[in-house]
Amino acid sequence: MARGLLNLRSQLGFYKSYHHDPKNVLIHSIFVPTILFSGFCMLQRVNLYRGFTLTTLLSISFFIFYCCLYLPTGLLAGFFLLLLNHALINDKIHLSFGQELGLFVIGWIFQFIGHGVFEKKRPALIDNLVQSLVLAPYFIMFEFLFKLGFMPRLNADLEHDLEVKQKNLEKQKQ
């Protein structure tokens, strides 16, 4: 399997290896968007230049990275990021900083519960913080697309790669 920053299978495989238990994936499906939403709400308060905020900068960066990984899903993710930015820029979201922080903290608590209780393995962010934070929303979108029956070959390839990786780890332990 190719290991590269812009290799979709490699990136999704990294993330999937830490998120395979269905209950943990469900928890992440709820709380990764919660963390993204609340984090972006808080970062919208950081004005970089004439209304260009840290949220806008991160959204553009995520969008470019996602499009480089795979253009069709990158465009889809970009659409959701655009909607969130539009709502934030046009003051359509009315949460206090305390509410945003509360959502953010609750999201992280549930993430760690998912890993500790269901996955029984440390979170991916321990091994690669940036990759985990950037890939998490994209991975959740892929999980949703897989559930809807899109990209069955990619999903099967990721499952196969994970099986091979787990078998190799078991052999190394023996």
Q: What is the pLDDT of residues 28-54, one digit of tens each?
A: 999 999 999 999 999 999 999 998 999
Spatial contact of 4 and 10, defined as CB atoms under 8 Å apart: yes
The model's pLDDT over 106-160, given as tens digits with 9 standing for 90+, comes to 999 999 999 999 998 888 888 888 878 899 999 999 999 999 999 999 999 999 9
Task: Find tokens 């029984």 and name the residue.
Answer: 120
Distance CA 157, CA 163 (A): 10
* Cut 0.85: pTM above it: yes
Q: Which residue ranges make up each domain of the chain? A: 8-173
Side chain identity, residue 139: F
